[in-house]
Structure 1
């Protein structure tokens, strides 16, 4: 399926909207509720669908994430840099989300179309990238944030890792799974339209 610049911009806009809507909801409620934060899934899917556009798409998505956080936090009457979640570790979201983008981009490069081998690669790429993202984001917060009480220890960190591990992975897998379904439908429809046009000629 050819990826024109117009299609890339459309995909980017849809992913950016999804992240904005769910990140606002998640930031306000601080829980995995009706609209869990799609940010992780968005960066993985963006890496897959927008591979080759990282120079503009990744920085824009990162900027959006920070801007949404800023408006949500300041909207609650809290200074942005005084918020519990904003610490030196907050800026490690760049490499954390970058690992998700790279996972999706790697999958786009190595996938073989709508085949079981592609599904297997997708599972591997998603698991590796989201585990790396989780390790970076959680680890940077635990070790660098003043919100975490001292003394810190690897034992307490591993316990903290386990507390949030499955919810983050499940939510990311849900959004990526929905994206995969949309991708399969789009590719199938594109092929059907192409075949129909060939038959008419």
Structure 2
């Protein structure tokens, strides 16, 4: 959505800062702190549509670096942590599904109306569901931390255990971001209209 280089850089830095401030608590591994990462990738796709070549890899690198630093600071080998396995790298397609959802939503102007609300909810729910299934499924089926034997029924139960937490966490940050976006867009239009009216006098 941002049009100039400076706007895109400013938005990227703000999103990266929010992710660092919330992910550093390792809410990815302890579910008592609300990690903004999922919401950040959706909003990044929305605000930085067309910049995936550089913005998405940098956000992924930041996420991995934060996890590495926090785990290492606890005196734990990164590769031996409970949540780090072959499944860890499935965070890339998981997060990219959120980016795609935000990018799709950005194709049309967003405002305070039923149509915009429906599009935003649909984009968020679809991309969140893809992210959740990929991240949860890869961890369940690939991680050595999950006890044997595994079964489809147990996986479905595991999906049900965590879906509400991850949905409400992601939705909270996305709603906050989109409300701010809609307000800023409305303010910009009002100021632009006022300036146009003033210049025409």
> TM-score, normalising length from structure 1?
0.95
Between the aligned partners of 2:75 and 2:103, the Cα distance in structure 1 is: 38
Q: Verify the 8 A CA contact 1:27 1:72 in the aligned structure 2.
A: no
Query: How far apart are residue 135 of structure 1 and its match?
Result: 0.1
What's the CA shift string for 1:83-135, capped at 9, x where partnerless? Answer: 000000000000000000000001111x3431321211110010000011000
Counterpart mapping for 1:1-201 below 5 A: 3-27=3-27, 30-33=30-33, 36-109=34-107, 111-114=108-111, 115-201=113-199
Go from structure 1 to structure 2 and tell me whether the alpha carbon gap of 1:29 and 1:52 turns closer, same or farther (over 3 Å shift): closer
Q: Could you list the runs of 4 or more consecutive aligned residues of structure 1 that deviate by over 3 angstroms after TM superposition?
A: 26-29
Moved more, 116-125 or 131-140: 116-125
Q: Verify the 8 A CA contact 2:95 2:131 in the aligned structure 1.
A: yes
Go from structure 1 to structure 2 and tell me whether the alpha carbon gap of 1:28 and 1:183 turns closer, same or farther (over 3 Å shift): closer
Go from structure 1 to structure 2 and tell me whether the alpha carbon gap of 1:150 and 1:28 turns closer, same or farther (over 3 Å shift): closer
Between the aligned partners of 1:29 and 1:61, the Cα distance in structure 2 is: 18
Go from structure 1 to structure 2 and tell me whether the alpha carbon gap of 1:103 and 1:143 turns closer, same or farther (over 3 Å shift): same
Between the aligned partners of 1:40 and 1:30, the Cα distance in structure 2 is: 15
Query: How far apart are residue 74 of structure 1 and its match?
Result: 0.3
> TM-score, normalising length from structure 2?
0.95
Aligned pair count reads: 198
- Structure 2 spans left out of the alignment, 5+ residues: none
Q: Verify the 8 A CA contact 1:27 1:69 in the aligned structure 2.
A: no
Between the aligned partners of 2:48 and 2:92, the Cα distance in structure 1 is: 17
